[in-house]
Amino acid sequence: MKLYLISDNVDTLTGMRLAGIEGVVVHGSRELKEAVEKACADPEIAILLLTEKFSKNDPELVSALKLAHKTPLIIDIPDRHGMGRSPDFITDFVEQAIGLKL
């Protein structure tokens, strides 16, 4: 079982390749759909990583792709630009999850 990345930029793909994760760079909805379909057809891919920009720019397509495929697990990840989160978003998330101020 392996991970695979579909990214909108080369820098994210380069970083993931350094960690041993292969992938592809795509631009546009049509290319994204084709790349996801190809990745989903590969039985060795267990987790499919998508940069968050896809979900932000085309949420209907990404939701439809996630619902259409049971495997692999499709996960959104932040790219090198992040998504405008606050610097302490992890602390905020943990505080909300456990209900205590850290």
Q: How many residues does the chain have?
A: 102
Summary mean pLDDT of the chain: 85
Give pLDDT, residue 95.
Answer: 77
Q: pLDDT class for 82, splitting at 50, 70, 90?
A: low
Q: Ramachandran region of residue 99, left (φ > 0), alpha (ψ -120 to 50) or beta?
A: left
Q: What is the pLDDT of residues 29-41, one digit of tens each?
A: 899 989 999 999 9
CA atoms within 13 A on the CB side of 12: 22
Superfamily, domain 2-98 = ATPase, V1 complex, subunit F (3.40.50.10580)
